[in-house]
Chain A
Amino acid sequence: MSGFEHLTPLILTVITASTPLLFAAAGELVTERSGVLNLGVEGLMVTGALAAFAGTYVSGSAIIGVLCGALAGVLMALVFAALTLSLLANQVATGLALTIFGLGLTSLLGSGFIGVTVENLPKLYIPGLSEIPVLGPIVFGQDAMVYLSFACVGGIGWVLARTRVGLILRAVGASHDSAHALGYPVIRIRYMATMFGGAMGGIAGSYLSLVYTPMWAENLTAGRGWIALALVVFSTWRPGRLVVGAYLFGAITVIQLHAQGLGVAVPSQFLSMTPYLVTIMVLVVISRDRLKIQLNAPACLGRSFHPAQ
């Protein structure tokens, strides 16, 4: 039993490391299912992270902070949507621009928040249940965002598979021409999906600055937005697999950090490389099967739509 007791804190940090990835990837999955490829997740997250941190600092409430983070993500996504959906800009280039802009904006605005600390998110505590060894703190001792992340993934899965809204979203991603011919407002639906992705990216960033680190630092996201993008490919656009992917990466991140802390005889830089290298490996393994990608990827992913005639 003592071995397990030792594991509990490890698992708890894995959850903390995985939650932001899960939020961001789940949002991007919805965006991509509507046929929009928003490569600016990194930009969404970093903006959300700063907005949440600043919001919490000013208001003293982490909930308001998270809302600020989500709102910042939505605004960033709105810029992306206006450029790609209304002005038909190239989605790849605009996604890059969103990231460059987000990093620039936050490093400018965030300079005043470096070194400041804020209140952490409260953890759930249910007398009795939360005290169960091992399982208690893991299942009943998390902050609200962790439960929310699972609820989001479950909800997205349910909506996509079982509801009319989800069907319409998938239809728009599968063929914008057919959806348009049936009278669905393709652009408006894509706006909504992109903004949802933005909100989720913002929340993911909030979790980083409020719980994971918890502080503000320039370039705080350190490539997690890109990893979230890779996770969407890894999941072959299915929400359920996203959980597996996000926790796999969370675990790798934490294990390499622990290994660094324990003074494993490998230079820390090499350990820090592992999440990035694993991302590449995972991409290769999943992408290798072209037919599988072709069958699962939204057919209109990244393509502009203009209802010309």
Chain B
Amino acid sequence: MIRLVPRRQRSRAMVWGAPLLAVALTLITGGLTFAIMGKPMGAALFTFFVQPLTSVYGVSELIVKASPLVLIGIGLSLGFRANVWNIGAEGQYTFGAILGGGIAIFFHDSTSPFLLPAMLIAGAVGGMAWAAIPAFLRTRFNANEILVSLMLTYVAVLLLSYLVHGPWRDPDGYNFPESRLFPEAGTMPVLIEGTRVHMGVFFALIAVGVALLLGKGLTGFKLKLVGLAPEAARFAGFSETRIIWFALLAGGGLAGLAGVIEVAGPIGQLIPTISPGYGFTAIIVAFLGRLHPVGVLLAGLVMALTYLGGETAQIEIGVPAAVTGLFQGFLLFYLLACDVLIRYRVHILIGKAAR
């Protein structure tokens, strides 16, 4: 029999120990999964988790995939701290890409240096606008932001599908559901020649830095307090409404930015599917990173590795790429389970002592 004994004080060691433990457990489970699929466990794990990191290309791809995850994860972590459950980042990402990409399509022969900044701003604004809907409905009508933000994800993805199938379809594209390629001036500059690493990395790092500063300030305190003790926040005089708005706008803005960066960077045009589920994976990134900016940065890299590992494993050993989603699910499960160690000591009682 297992009994949980509350700790008098949260264990600070376990705050960071739990995610490490969760990663370790995921590796073990992953190995077993490979074994069940009839793959050599060690070699498969190596292919999935290590091999991508052994080449410059692999590392550069890791960075490319981690950037949107970190950007979105930072935004979500701000909200999650305040118990504002924005799980529609995928939709905000998509709408940001639509708005920002729309500018590139509209000015497709522009060479102006202002095109890219305008797109980035439009992307962030688009993400905010999309997140403003659940913020408004929650603060004004008490409607659950989880369900509203999620429903809007489906709407945004359908809207993108409509646009690339219809009005924004590339006139010279042989009827493929794709927009034109963005002009040079509307593309993220590549940082390292020969790779896809682009300017977006800076945005992710800036977001981490700003979030770190926020955490040490009054705003960070408000978010934390609203999440941990909403009554105390009201008593202190912090407006819950404003916090909800802030959390959703920050999350939406960063997701929208990530969306436009992605279409202006690695993708270079609007297509029906512009995300391998970054908006949802970023939820795991936020939790795995303990809702702490530096943690989110590290977690973003870990989760990017699961995408990359999935692709590598598919090519090298013929494992379906869907294994990525499975591992991500395992990781989140283990993390949630390990989190119990922060507040409770686990006593294992055997036999008579259990009474």
**Interface-side segment among B181-189, B232-240, B323-331:** B323-331
Q: Which residues of A contact B343 (CB under 8 A)?
A: 88
Closest A residue, CB atoms, query B154: A276
B142 lies within 8 A of A111 (CB): no
Task: Provide the bound-state CA to CA distance between A158 and B2, in Å.
Answer: 37
A92 at the interface (CB under 8 A from B): yes
- A285's nearest neighbour on chain B, judged by CB, is B141
A284 nearest CB across to chain B (Å) = 5
Residues of B within 8 A of A83 (CB): 333, 336-337
Are B151's CB and A87's CB within 8 A?
no
Quick one: CB contact mask for A253-294 with B, threshold 8 Å, 1 for yes? 000000000000001011011001101100110011010010
Residue of A nearest to B337 (CB): A87
Known: A90-B336, A280-B148. A96 touches B283 (CB 8 A): yes
Cross-chain contact A101 with B333 (CB below 8 angstroms): yes
Check A79–B333 contact: CB distance below 8 A. Answer: yes
Indicate if B166 sits at the interface (CB-CB under 8 A): yes
* CB-defined contacts of B6 to chain A, threshold 8 Å: 306, 308
Chain B residues 215-234 with CB under 8 Å of chain A are none
B interface: dominant SS: helix
Whether, in the assembled complex, B143 has its beta carbon less than 8 Å from a beta carbon of chain A, the answer is yes
| Interface membership of B161, Cβ < 8 A | yes
Q: Which residue of A lies closest to B166 (CB)?
A: A267
- Specify the chain B residue showing the minimal Cβ separation from A42: B150
Given the complex of chains A and B, what is the CA–CA distance between A44 and B333 in angstroms?
15
Chain B residue with the shortest CB-CB distance to A79: B333
B45 close to A (CB within 8 Å): no
How many angstroms between the C-alpha atoms of A277 and B133 in the bound complex? 12
**Which residues, 304 to 355 on B, are CB-close (under 8 Å) to A?**
320, 322-330, 332-333, 336-337, 339-340, 343-344
Known: A97-B336, A100-B280. A223 touches B151 (CB 8 A): yes
Tell me the residues in window 141-181 of chain B with beta carbons closer than 8 Å to chain A beta carbons: 141-144, 146-148, 150-152, 154-155, 158-159, 161-162, 165-166
Bound: A68/B169 CA distance, A: 44
Q: How many residues of A contact B (CB 8 A)?
A: 45
Q: Which residues of A are found within 8 Å of B4, using beta-carbon distances?
A: 87-88, 306
CB distance from B304 to the nearest CB of A (A): 16
Query: Does B95 reach chain A (CB closer than 8 Å)?
Result: no
Residues 271-298 of chain B, each 1 if its beta carbon lies under 8 Å from chain A, else 0: 0000000001001100100000000000
In the complex, chain A residues whose CB is within 8 Å of the CB of B329: 97, 100-105
Docked-complex contact A100 and B151, CB < 8 angstroms: no
Please, how many angstroms separate the alpha-carbon atoms of A288 and B328 in the complex? 36
Q: Are A108 and B323 in contact, with the CB atoms below 8 A?
A: yes
A89 in contact (CB, < 8 A):
yes
Once A223-B151, A272-B158 are accepted as A-B contacts, the answer to whether A283 and B326 lie under 8 Å apart by CB is no
Beyond A94-B336, A97-B333, A269-B161, whether A104 also contacts B151 by CB under 8 A is: no
Of A92, A101, A226, which is within 8 A of B330 by CB? Answer: A101
- Contact: B320 with A279, CB < 8 Å? no
Is the Cβ of A277 less than 8 Å from the Cβ of B151? yes
Known: A96-B87, A104-B322. A284 touches B143 (CB 8 A): yes
Which A residues, 89 to 131, have Cβ-Cβ distances below 8 Å to chain B?
Answer: 89-90, 92-94, 96-97, 100-105, 107-108, 111
Q: How far is the CA of A283 from the CA of B142 in the complex (A)?
A: 9
Contact indicator A107/B322 (Cβ below 8 Å): yes
- Of A100, A226, A308, chain B has the most CB atoms within 10 Å of the CB of A100
Q: Which A60-106 residues sit within 8 Å CB-CB of chain B? A: 79, 83, 86-90, 92-94, 96-97, 100-105
Chain B residue nearest to A268 in the complex (CB): B162
Decide if A100 touches B328 in the complex (CB within 8 Å).
Answer: yes
Which residues from chain B contact A100 at a C-beta distance below 8 Å? 280, 283-284, 325, 328-329, 332
Is B154 a contact partner of A92 (Cβ separation < 8 A)? Answer: no
- Known contacts: A104-B326, A287-B143. The answer to whether A280 contacts B151 by CB under 8 A is yes
Q: A residues within 8 A CB of B283?
A: 96, 100
Please tell me if the beta carbons of A279 and B147 are within 8 angstroms of each other in the complex.
yes
Measured CA separation A90–B283 after assembly (Å): 14
Expressed in whole angstroms, the Cα–Cα distance for A94 and B85 within the complex equals 13
The residue that B151 contacts in the complex, of A103, A233, A279, with Cβ under 8 A, is A279
Contact A104/B324 with A273-B158, A279-B151, A308-B6 known, Cβ cut-off 8 Å: yes
Q: Is B137 an interface residue (CB 8 A)?
A: yes
Residues of A with C-beta under 8 A to B287 = 93
CB-based contact B150/A288 at 8 Å:
no
Q: Which chain B residues border A87 with CB–CB below 8 Å?
A: 4, 336-337, 339-340
- Closest CB-CB distance, B296 to chain A, in whole Å? 15
In the bound complex, what is the Cα–Cα distance between A162 and B87 (angstroms)? 38
Inside 8 A of B340's CB, which chain A residues have their CB? 87-89
- Looking across the interface, which residue of chain B has its beta carbon closest to that of A270? B162
A299 contacts B by Cβ under 8 Å: no
| Chain A residues within an 8 Å CB radius of B159 | 269, 273
Task: State A291–B104 Cα separation when bound (angstroms).
Answer: 48
In the bound complex, what is the Cα–Cα distance between A242 and B337 (angstroms)?
33
Which residues of A are found within 8 Å of B161, using beta-carbon distances?
269
Known contacts A87-B339, A108-B326; 8 further A-B pairs (Cβ under 8 A): A88-B340, A88-B343, A89-B340, A108-B322, A111-B320, A222-B154, A230-B147, A290-B142
- Could you write out 30 A-B pairs with CB less than 8 Å apart? A88-B340, A89-B339, A92-B85, A97-B332, A100-B280, A101-B325, A101-B333, A103-B329, A104-B326, A105-B329, A107-B322, A107-B325, A111-B322, A223-B154, A226-B147, A267-B162, A269-B161, A270-B162, A273-B154, A277-B151, A279-B151, A280-B151, A280-B152, A283-B148, A284-B143, A287-B142, A288-B141, A288-B142, A293-B142, A306-B4
Closest 10 CB pairs of A and B: A104-B325, A101-B329, A269-B162, A89-B336, A97-B332, A108-B322, A107-B322, A104-B326, A276-B151, A269-B158
